[in-house]
Each structure stands twice: as structure tokens, then as C-alpha cells.
């Protein structure tokens, strides 16, 4: 009910979570959409003899001295103050603990790291874990597709976070493999994968001219999408052990990706848990396993090279742009690729787009901005003024409802158009009375 209430109330009016916030749960409340919290619970707990110590609650009668050095606790001795004064001190201390947690949430929001923190925090309480899981059933327009922060996939809840669900669903929709053979590889700690030592060694020993899919948990990443968020910027614990849930999850998505191609041959250069995923997914296929103990052993690489000989050159970087355009904007444009990976750009007489590794998306320029204007996709109509560095919501007349925060967008009026990054979702830009709607990257005259 709490998750549903936040979903229904979320909009351009502030949400006040009354008498519910504590240090252990306030980050989750903020993540769900709470704008205002109070210290009523902190005070009530104090007068019921509860002393907050981070995420832990201590009973006052069990402590002989205040363990905190805050302005309320320092230089206070329990045996020198009466009961009423002790409760007053604890009420102030509990409020300060809550205030510090709220301040932490502000910083995490600015750094786009709140979800990582919430996943760790809810593990302290089964009810909070359940609340996060219920909230993950929602597919809200306010969640960004692209972020500057690293995604940490450390828990079971990571499988259901928005970034994972959106990425995998969208990749399946946009994936268009072209070769008759497929190579399956394990993920690497370094991102993007092509810069990792493991993948560089493989590609220096073997001419890879086939489609590739990199297996990770919880992501399954066709090579064409490795510069897209969160594939370009995530981390996950590597233990060598894969749980049954992980194997089932990754296997399911790998199976859906395989259905997108017409593969006559599948080569798996994997070991350990990765092989377990492949064997489960492809039990009805004739898969060639090329690793003999270690994927970088000379004998393994020699076997892989033999299996991948004879295929025509595959233009990977061009396909990366084609897939990224479909993923981000729903259609693609022609051009030729320039630059050194991963700092590559698409040109067609002039620069069309480049990969922005900070956000894991495409940054676009005038030619493609004009294409979006023709279609009306990811476009924002503004009032008749000359924009400078930011566009406030008060200056927005209409906006594409598909727009999410951090999306690359095109703004325009009768005189100017340009490219910017959205700071609100499309509906909020129109409904909000104040706030930054777009940060401008470049501006042009018609």
C-alpha cells in the first residue's frame, strides 16, 4: 500500500511522509518520492527510551554513557542528569541522526547514487526490502535511462531495478544481429569490455568478425550495446559462484537475444558459471565450447581462432551507432565512423553524433537534431526567447511525453533550436511552475 500510494501521489506537488521517517528508512522514502519528512518518529522513539546510533537502536537503560559526540550528547554524563533531561537530549540526538541521513540523501541524489545506497540499506529490515521490491514493479517516467554514476549490482534486488529491466527489454527490441555465427564471452571488470585486457588478448589472437554477446549478471550485453548505460558503467561482485536465480535470470534474457538472430553456429568461449548459463540456455543447440581450462590459454585461443575463421569483415563500430540510435531514439541514420574507440563519432559531411561515455548514450549535433524536429521525437517547444545556458520549466510550452531525466533532447522556437539534456521528464516540464527543465549543450539558428 505504501509503494502504491507513492506511485499515485508522485507528480509536481510535494509529498509529505508524516511521522514515519527514521535513519534506517528515510533513504527509501526519498527514493520512493517523499519530498518532506519530519522528526516526529525520532522524538517519539526518544521518549520511549530508544537512542539512534546510525541504523541501530539502543535502549537508554542499557547504555552507561552517550556514545555520540554530537552537540546534544557531548560532555553529558548519564549519572549527572535526571530522566527528563536525558529524554530531551536523546530527542535532540535522534533528530540530528535523522538530519544527517537526510543530508546524505541530498548528496546521493546529486551524485545519482541513491539507488545503490538504498539497496544496501533495506537489507537491515525485511519490511523495507519488501517495500523496495514492490516499488520495483513500477515503470515510472521519472526514472532516467542514462546516468553518470556507476550501477552496483550487489543484491537480489538489483535484478529488478529500473536500469536493468529497461536496458534488457530495450536491447531485445533493438538488437539486429547480422552474422550467421555468434560468439559468447564472459564479462570483464573493466568497462567498456573492448578496453579490458581479457578481451584485447582475445581479439589480438583471433579475428572476430561475428556477432558477440557478453554474459554478466544481471546484464546480458550484445557487443553493439557495450557503450550504452548501464553496460558501460556497472560493477558486480565476482565470486565464481552463480546462484540458481542468477543463472535462470541471465539464461532467460540470453535466450530472448538468441531468438533475434539466425545463427547457424554458436561458439562459447566461457568457463565456470558462465558455462553453466550457456549450457542451460542452449541445451537444445549444438554449441562449440572452445575454452580448455582458461579462456586465455594458448590452446583455448587456438581453438577459438579455428572456429571463427572464414567470416567476412563485420563493421562493429558502425553497428554500434546503428544500435545506439535505435535504442535511444527509435530510428537510425547513415554515416561513417571516425575516431579511436571508445571516443568515436558518426559523421555525414559534418558531425552527427558521438558516444558520451559519462552518461552512456549518444550526444547529437545539428543534422540529427533536425531529424528529430521533423519527427517531433524528444522535442521541447519553448517560448519566444533566446536561450543561453538553461531553460526553466516556465519557458516550456510543450514537451514530448517520452522524455525522461538525462535524455538528450532538442528544444526549439521560431528562431532557435538546439541540443540539451533534460532535467525533468516531459510531463513535469509542462506542469511544473519552476525548476530547470533543460541544460543547454549547443544552440543553432534556423
166 and 288, same domain (yes or no) = yes
130 and 160, same domain (yes or no) = no
What local confidence, expressed as pLDDT, does residue 193 receive? 98
Is the model's pLDDT at 5 over the cut of 90? no
The mean pLDDT value for 246-258 works out to 95
204 and 285, same domain (yes or no) = yes
Residue-level length of the chain: 446
What local confidence, expressed as pLDDT, does residue 103 receive? 98
Indicate whether 105 belongs to any domain.
yes
Indicate whether 409 belongs to any domain.
yes
120 and 186, same domain (yes or no) = no
The mean pLDDT value for 179-192 works out to 97
Range list of β-strands (E), 180-307: 181-186, 211-215, 220-222, 234-235, 265-268, 287-289
418 and 299, same domain (yes or no) = no
* 341-387 tens-digit pLDDT: 999 999 999 999 999 999 999 999 999 999 999 999 999 999 999 99
Domain of residue 99 covers: 2-135
Indicate whether 221 belongs to any domain.
yes
CATH number of the domain within which 41 lies: 3.20.20.105
Residue 372's region, left for phi above 0, alpha for psi from -120 to 50, else beta, is alpha
377 and 255, same domain (yes or no) = no
Q: Determine the straight-line distance between the first and last CA of the chain, rounded to whole angstroms.
A: 50
Indicate whether 149 belongs to any domain.
no
Residues 6+ apart with CB under 8 A from 48: none
Cis peptide before 230 (omega within 30 of 0): yes
* 398-437 tens-digit pLDDT: 999 999 999 999 999 999 999 999 999 999 999 988 999 9
**How many structural domains are present in the chain?**
3
98 and 161, same domain (yes or no) = no
Indicate whether 434 belongs to any domain.
yes
167 and 302, same domain (yes or no) = yes
The rounded distance, in Å, linking the Cα atoms of 120 and 132 is 11
- Burial class from Cβ neighbours inside 10 Å (0-12, 13-18, 19+) for residue 358 reads middle
10 and 98, same domain (yes or no) = yes
Q: pLDDT averaged over the chain?
A: 94
Do 334 and 371 form a contact (C-beta atoms < 8 A)?
A: no
189 and 123, same domain (yes or no) = no
Q: For residue 239, name the pLDDT band (cuts at 50, 70, 90).
A: confident
Look at residues 285, 307, 329 and tell me which one is the last residue of a structural domain: 307
* 100-140 tens-digit pLDDT: 999 999 999 999 999 999 999 999 999 999 999 988 887 67
* 192-237 tens-digit pLDDT: 999 999 999 999 999 999 999 999 999 999 999 999 999 999 999 8
What local confidence, expressed as pLDDT, does residue 75 receive? 77
Of 102, 112, 116, 117, the residue nearest 34 (C-alpha): 102
What local confidence, expressed as pLDDT, does residue 293 receive? 86
Look at residues 292, 307, 322 and tell me which one is the last residue of a structural domain: 307
Indicate whether 17 belongs to any domain.
yes
Helix axes 114-122, 83-110, angle to 10 degrees: 140
What local confidence, expressed as pLDDT, does residue 344 receive? 98
Q: What angle do CA 160, 325, 320 make, to 5 degrees?
A: 85
273 and 377, same domain (yes or no) = no
131 and 163, same domain (yes or no) = no
Look at residues 282, 307, 332 and tell me which one is the last residue of a structural domain: 307
What local confidence, expressed as pLDDT, does residue 48 receive? 96
Is the model's pLDDT at 439 over the cut of 80? yes
Indicate whether 323 belongs to any domain.
no
The b/e string for 233-243 (b: 16+ C-beta within 10 A; e otherwise) is bbebeeeeebe
Indicate whether 194 belongs to any domain.
yes
CATH number of the domain within which 187 lies: 3.40.50.10630
Amino acid at each position: 500500500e505504501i509503494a502504491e500510494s507513492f506511485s499515485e501521489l508522485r507528480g509536481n506537488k510535494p509529498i509529505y511522509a508524516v511521522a514515519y521517517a527514521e535513519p534506517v528508512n528515510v533513504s527509501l522514502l526519498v527514493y520512493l518520492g517523499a519530498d518532506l519528512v519530519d522528526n516526529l518518529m525520532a522524538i517519539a522513539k526518544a521518549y520511549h527510551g530508544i537512542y539512534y546510533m546510525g541504523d541501530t537502536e539502543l535502549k537508554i537503560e542499557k547504555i552507561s554513557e552517550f556514545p555520540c559526540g554530537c552537540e546534544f550528547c557531548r560532555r553529558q554524563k548519564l549519572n549527572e542528569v535526571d530522566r527528563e533531561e536525558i529524554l530531551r537530549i536523546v530527542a535532540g540526538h535522534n533528530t540530528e541522526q535523522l538530519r544527517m541521513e537526510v543530508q546524505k540523501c541530498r548528496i546521493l541524489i546529486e551524485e545519482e547514487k541513491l539507488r545503490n545506497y538504498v539497496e544496501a540499506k533495506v537489507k537491515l529490515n525485511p519490511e523495507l526490502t519488501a517495500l523496495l521490491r514492490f516499488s520495483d514493479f513500477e515503470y515510472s517516467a521519472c526514472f532516467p535511462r542514462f546516468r553518470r554514476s556507476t550501477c552496483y549490482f550487489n543484491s537480489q534486488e538489483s535484478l529488478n531495478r529500473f536500469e536493468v529491466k529497461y536496458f534488457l527489454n530495450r536491447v531485445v527490441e533493438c538488437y539486429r544481429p547480422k552474422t550467421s555465427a555468434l560468439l559468447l564471452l564472459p564479462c570483464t571488470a573493466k568497462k567498456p569490455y573492448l578496453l579490458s585486457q581479457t578481451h584485447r588478448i582475445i581479439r589480438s589472437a583471433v579475428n572476430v568478425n561475428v556477432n558477440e554477446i557478453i554474459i554478466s549478471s544481471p546484464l546480458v550485453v550484445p557487443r553493439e550495446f557495450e557503450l550504452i548505460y548501464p553496460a558501460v558503467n556497472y560493477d558486480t561482485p565476482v565470486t565464481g559462484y552463480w546462484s540458481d536465480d542468477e543463472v535462470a535470470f541471465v539464461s532467460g534474457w540470453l535466450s530472448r537475444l538468441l531468438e533475434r538472430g539466425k545463427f547457424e553456429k554458436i561458439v562459447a568461449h566461457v568457463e565456470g558459471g558462465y558455462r553453466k548459463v550457456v549450457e542451460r540456455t542452449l541445451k537444445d543447440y549444438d554449441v562449440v565450447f572452445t575454452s580448455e581450462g582458461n579462456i586465455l590459454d594458448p590452446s583455448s585461443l587456438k581453438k577459438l581462432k579455428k572456429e571463427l575463421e572464414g567470416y567476412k569483415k563485420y563493421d562493429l563500430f558502425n553497428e554500434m551507432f546503428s544500435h545506439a540510435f535505435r535504442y535511444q531514439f527509435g530510428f537510425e541514420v547513415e554515416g561513417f565512423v571516425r575516431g579511436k574507440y571508445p571516443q568515436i563519432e558518426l559523421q555525414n559531411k559534418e558531425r552527427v553524433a558521438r558516444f558520451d561515455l559519462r552518461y552512456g548514450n549518444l550526444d547529437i549535433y545539428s543534422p540529427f537534431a533536425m531529424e528529430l524536429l521533423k519527427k517531433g521525437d524528444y522535442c521541447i517547444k519553448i517560448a519566444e526567447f533566446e536561450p543561453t545556458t538553461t531553460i526553466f520549466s516556465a519557458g516550456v510550452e510543450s514537451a514530448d511525453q517520452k522524455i525522461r531525466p538525462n535524455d538528450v533532447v532538442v528544444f526549439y522556437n521560431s528562431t532557435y533550436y538546439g541540443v540539451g539534456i533534460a532535467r525533468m521528464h516531459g510531463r513535469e516540464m509542462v506542469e511544473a511552475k519552476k525548476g530547470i527543465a533543460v541544460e543547454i549543450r549547443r544552440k543553432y539558428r534556423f
